[in-house]
Structure 1
Amino acid sequence: MSTGNTGLPPRANPGGQRKKTPVKKKKSPMALFFKWLLILVILAILGAAVYVGTLYLKAEDTVLNTGVDKAVPPEQSAEVKPLTMLILGTDYRPQHQTHLTDVVMVVSMNPETNTATLVSLPRDSSLQLQGYRNDRKLNSFYPTFKNLEKKGGSSAEEEMKTMLSKYLDVPIDYVTVLNFQGFRDVVDALGGVDVNVKYNMCHRDSQDGTDINLTAGPQELDGSKALDYVRYRKSMNCEPKTQESNDFDRNARQSEVLHSLIDRMKSFGGAVKSYKVLEAVSDNMKTDLENDQMKNMIKAYYDVNKENVNFVPITGEWRSPFVYINESELQQAKQALKDELEGRHTVEPQAAAENADSVSQP
C-alpha cells in the first residue's frame, strides 16, 4: 500500500495561500443617477407613445365622429401642409339658444416649425368689406347666414370662411364652431384654469341666466366661472357697479385662458384627462375637418408649447355701436398669418393688448 495516497482530493492551493473572494466594485452615486435617469427617459418615451396611441383610439370614438367621412390626399395632410382654420365660439347654450359669435379667431399652423399664429377679432367689429353690409356687427353674421341656410342658401360655416378669407387675405381651409357649453366642459375636464382677475366683475340678468360675480386676484376658475371671465362686458343689476370691459379686454382674457388651458394639457394631469376633453368637444362642436385630418392634426401638433403659439389681437376705435378696426394692426395680422404659412413664425410685440386698458367701450 502506498503511503503517498491518502484517498483525499488534491488541495486546490498547494502553496498554502487562501484564494481571495472577489469584491464587487461599488458604483458611484453619479453612475446610479444616470442609470435611473436613462430608465425614466425610456419610460417617458414609451409612455408618450402609448398616450398618443390611446388618444387616437379615443378620438376615433368621440371627436372623429363629428368630422367629415372623406379621404385626405397625402399632400394635403396636416402633417406636411400648413393649414388655416376659422374658430367660432357661439353663445349657444341650453338656456340661451342663439348663435352669436362672441369669439372669432383665425389660426394658421405650420407642421414643419410646429408653431401657430392666432388672430382674434373684436365681436363688435364693422368689417368694412366690399359685398358685405357694414351696418352689421361681426358677431351677427353667423346667425344671419344660419337663417339664409334654412331658406336654401349655402352653409353658414362656408359663408363665414369665404367672408373672413377675403377680409384677412388668407385662404381658410377649415372652420370649427364650438358653443359655450363645450367651453365649460373642456375647462372642467382639465380641472379648471389659472387666471389673474384684474378687477371685480358683476353682471346679473335673469332673462338669459347670466350671473357673473368674480372678485379680483389670482385664482383657479371652473368651467362656468371661466366662461363668465371671458364673456364679461359690463356691470348690471349689481351694487356697487363694477368696472366695464371692452372687446380688447375680452380678447386678452381669451388669450390668457387659452394659455392656461395649454399649460393644463401639457401637464401629466392634462394628459390623463384628455379623454374627457375629447368627449366635451365632440358633444359641442361642428367642423368640416375630415376625420383623418383630425388624426393628422393630433400627430402634428399634440406636443406644441404655448411659447410656439403667437397670439395677435386686433384692436380699433369704438364708435357706438361698432369697433372700427385699426388698419395698421389689421395689416400686421394678415402678414403674421401669411408668415406662419410660409414657415416664418415670429412673435410680434403685443402693443395692442398692452394698450387695450386705455380704450373705453361699453
Structure 2
Amino acid sequence: MSNNKGSLPPRSNGQPRTNRQQPRTAAATQAARPKAKSNKKKPKKRGPFARMMRLLLILLLVAVIAALGYAGYLYWKFDQGGFGVDQPVQAGQAASEKPLTMLLLGTDNRPKHPSNLTDVIMVAALNPKTKSATVVSLPRDTYVELSGYKKTKINAFYSRFKGKEKTSGILAEDEMKTMMGKYLGIEVNYATVLDFQGFRDIVDEFGGVDVNISQNMCYTDSVDGTNINLKQGPAQLDGDKALDYVRYRKSNCSPQTKPSDDFDRNKRQSEVLNSLISQMQSLGGVLKIGRVLDAVDDNLESDIENAQIKSMIATYWDISKADVEFVPVGGTWRSPYVYINDKELEAAKKSLQDRIAGVSASEASAASDSP
C-alpha cells in the first residue's frame, strides 16, 4: 500500500500555500517609492574674498587681544618701578589731562670717556587736546648769558650742577629745569638724561633708523674708540652708526670729509628722532617698547612718575608726525661759542608756548603761511 496521499506536492514547513501577495514592510514600501526631489539648497561654498575677510577679522581680533595683553604687560613693568619715579601723579596733572614740558639731555658719557657734558639739549612741549608737540633743539656750544648764572656754554651747565649736588642739596636735573625754563620763558615739568650707550640701545632695539646722509663723514679717535665712516645717500643705521651720524663734527681722515657745525648736528638729531617716531608707531615697534625700557634702564635718568609714563604712552603713542614740530635754533659760530639768532630763539619760545596754550603745530603753520 502506498503512503502517498494523492499527487499534491508536500507543504512547505507546514505553512499553507496561498496565491495572495504578502503585505510589504514599511521599509520595503519606502524603498520602492520613487525618491522625491529635495527642496533644501546645498550650502554655498565661501568665495576666496569671503574667506580672506574672515581670516583678516580673526587676525584683527588676535592682534587686539595681543595688544591689550601687551599693554597690561607694560603697565605691570612700570608698576615694578625702575624706569621712573615710584610716586603718584597729582590730581589733574596726568599727561592725558594737561600739557607737559620735558627737558631732554644727551650726555657724551661712555665707559672709556666718563663725562656729564650734554651733546644734545632739547625741550619738548606736548598737548593732549591737540595731539601735537614741539621739540626745540639748541646747539651744544650755545653761549648763555642769563641772570644768576655764569656766562658759559649751554652744554657745561649740567656737569657744573652735578659737581655741586652734595654742597647745594639740589639735584642737577632740577637745576637744569629751572635754568632752561628761565632761558625759554616756560615752566619745565620733567627732565630725562640719556647717555651714549642708552641712545645706541634704543636704536638697536627698534631695528635701526632710516636716514638720508647728506655728505660723506669720516673721523677716528683711538682714545675713545670713535671710528666714523659714513657714505652719502639713504641708509639704515644701527645704534653705533646712528650715534656717529648725530655726533660727527670734523674730519681727520685722508682725504678729509667736509666738517659739520652744531646746526647740522641739530638737524640730524631731529631726523633721527623723527625716524624713531615712525619705528615706535609701527606694530613691531609697539611690541618692542618693553625691551627698549629694559635696554636703557642703566643708561637713563628721569624724574617722570611711573604712572605719568603710562599716561604719556596711552596719550601720545599714535601722534601724527605732521603734528610734531621740530625747531632747531640757529645762530653764528665764533669760536668757541655759538651766538644764537634772537629771532629764531623767539620763534622757538613762541612755538613752545603755542603747544602749551593748545594751538596745534598745523594751525600755527597755516597761520604763519597766510598773508
Q: Normalised by the shorter chain, which TM-score bucket? A: 0.7 to 0.9
**Structure 1: distance between partners of 2:354 and 2:233:** 37
CA shift, 1:27, in A, is: 4.2
**Structure 1: distance between partners of 2:230 and 2:79:** 38
**Structure 1: distance between partners of 2:23 and 2:128:** 86
Q: Is the partner of 1:194 in helix, strand or coil?
A: strand
CA shift, 1:29, in A, is: 4.5
CA contact 2:215–2:233 (8 Å) conserved in 1: yes
Counterpart residue number, 2:67: 48
**Structure 1: distance between partners of 2:85 and 2:47:** 58
CA shift, 1:56, in A, is: 2.2
**Structure 2: distance between partners of 1:208 and 1:179:** 15
Per-residue Cα deviation, 1:186-230 (whole angstroms, up to 9, x for no partner): 112222222222111112223333222222222222211111110
CA shift, 1:234, in A, is: 0.8
Counterpart residue number, 1:240: 255
**Structure 1: distance between partners of 2:281 and 2:182:** 35
Q: CA RMSD in A?
A: 2.4
Do the aligned partners of residues 329 and 18 (structure 1) sit closer, same or farther apart at CA in structure 2, a change above 3 Å counting?
same
Structure 1, unpaired ranges of 5+: 350-362
Within the candidate set 110, 123, 129, 1:93 is matched to 110
Per-residue Cα deviation, 1:285-341 (whole angstroms, up to 9, x for no partner): 111112221222222223334333211111111122211111111111111111112
Counterpart residue number, 2:10: none
Identity percentage of aligned residues = 52
CA contact 1:67–1:287 (8 Å) conserved in 2: yes
Amino acid at match of 2:189: D
CA contact 2:125–2:356 (8 Å) conserved in 1: yes
Within the candidate set 2, 23, 26, 2:42 is matched to 23
Amino acid at match of 1:156: A
**Structure 2: distance between partners of 1:319 and 1:13:** 111
**Structure 1: distance between partners of 2:329 and 2:187:** 19
Q: Is the partner of 2:164 in helix, strand or coil?
A: helix
CA contact 1:262–1:305 (8 Å) conserved in 2: no
CA shift, 1:117, in A, is: 1.2
CA shift, 1:153, in A, is: 4.3
Q: Is the partner of 2:361 in helix, strand or coil?
A: coil
**Structure 1: distance between partners of 2:182 and 2:279:** 35
Which deviates the most, 168-177 or 314-323?
Answer: 314-323
Matches within 5 A, 1:65-214: 65-134=82-151, 136-214=152-230
Q: Is the partner of 2:82 in helix, strand or coil?
A: helix
Counterpart residue number, 1:325: 340
Amino acid at match of 1:271: V
Do the aligned partners of residues 211 and 30 (structure 1) sit closer, same or farther apart at CA in structure 2, a change above 3 Å counting?
closer
Do the aligned partners of residues 306 and 8 (structure 1) sit closer, same or farther apart at CA in structure 2, a change above 3 Å counting?
same
Counterpart residue number, 1:353: none
Amino acid at match of 1:6: R
**Structure 1: distance between partners of 2:228 and 2:47:** 60
**Structure 2: distance between partners of 1:158 and 1:209:** 33
Do the aligned partners of residues 159 and 6 (structure 1) sit closer, same or farther apart at CA in structure 2, a change above 3 Å counting?
same
Structure 2, unpaired ranges of 5+: 1-17, 366-371
**Structure 2: distance between partners of 1:41 and 1:284:** 36
2:272 counterpart of 1:275:
no
Give the number of aligned pairs: 345
CA contact 1:86–1:175 (8 Å) conserved in 2: yes
CA shift, 1:137, in A, is: 0.6
**Structure 2: distance between partners of 1:255 and 1:211:** 22
Matches within 5 A, 1:250-269: 250-269=265-284
Counterpart residue number, 2:299: 284
Amino acid at match of 1:334: K
Moved over 6 A (4+): 1-4, 12-16
TM-score scaled by structure 1?
A: 0.87
**Structure 1: distance between partners of 2:288 and 2:149:** 43
CA contact 2:324–2:361 (8 Å) conserved in 1: no
Which deviates the most, 20-29 or 321-330?
Answer: 20-29
CA shift, 1:26, in A, is: 4.0
**Structure 1: distance between partners of 2:63 and 2:31:** 52
Do the aligned partners of residues 318 and 38 (structure 1) sit closer, same or farther apart at CA in structure 2, a change above 3 Å counting?
same
Within the candidate set 38, 63, 69, 2:57 is matched to 38
